[in-house]
Amino acid sequence: MYRKVLKNQEHRVSDKNELYVYKRKDKRWEARYIKGYTQDGKTLWGAVYGKTRGEVIKKRGEVTGQSEKENNKPATPTKLNLLILGAGSHGQNIKELAESLRVFSKISFLDDKATGDDIIGKCREAVKFRDEYICAFVAIGDNKKRRKWTTFLKEKNFLIPNIIAHSANISPKAVIGEGVAIMPQSTVNESEIGDFCILASNSLINNGAKVGSFSHIDCGGIVLKKKKVPENTWVKSGEIFGIKKSKETVETEES
What are residue 157's phi and psi, to 5 degrees?
65, 35
What are residue 2's phi and psi, to 5 degrees?
-65, -45
User: How far apart (Å, rounded) are the C-alpha atoms in residues 26 and 243?
Assistant: 74
User: How far apart (Å, rounded) are the C-alpha atoms in residues 156 and 158?
Assistant: 6
Would you say 217 and 203 are in contact if contact means Cβ atoms under 8 Å apart? yes
User: What DSSP string runs through 73-119?
Assistant: PPPPPPP--EEEE--SHHHHHHHHHHHHHT--S-EEEE-SS---TTB
Q: What is residue 138's predicted lDDT score, i.e. its pLDDT?
A: 97
User: How far apart (Å, rounded) are the C-alpha atoms in residues 229 and 216?
Assistant: 10
User: How far apart (Å, rounded) are the C-alpha atoms in residues 46 and 67?
Assistant: 17
Q: What is residue 35's predicted lDDT score, i.e. its pLDDT?
A: 73
Q: What is residue 19's predicted lDDT score, i.e. its pLDDT?
A: 60
Global pTM exceeds 0.75: no
Q: Are strands 21-23 and 29-37 parallel, antiparallel or unpaired?
A: antiparallel
Which pLDDT tens digits describe the chain residue by residue (255 residues)?
Answer: 333 333 333 333 333 444 678 788 888 988 887 776 665 556 677 888 999 988 888 888 877 766 544 444 443 445 689 999 999 999 999 999 999 999 999 999 999 998 888 999 999 999 999 889 989 999 999 999 999 999 999 998 899 999 999 999 999 999 999 999 999 999 999 999 999 999 999 999 999 999 999 999 999 999 999 999 999 999 999 999 998 754 433 333 333
User: How far apart (Å, rounded) are the C-alpha atoms in residues 230 and 241?
Assistant: 11
Longest dimension (CA), the chain: 89
Would you say 188 and 206 are in contact if contact means Cβ atoms under 8 Å apart? no
How is residue 184 annotated by DSSP? T
Would you say 137 and 156 are in contact if contact means Cβ atoms under 8 Å apart? no
Q: Where do the domains of the chain lie, and which CATH numbers do they carry?
A: 2-71 (no CATH), 82-155 (3.40.50.20), 163-241 (2.160.10.10)
* Nearest partner of 186 among 222, 233, 158, 140, judged by Cα: 222
With H, G, I as helix, E, B as strand and everything else as coil, classify residue 122. coil
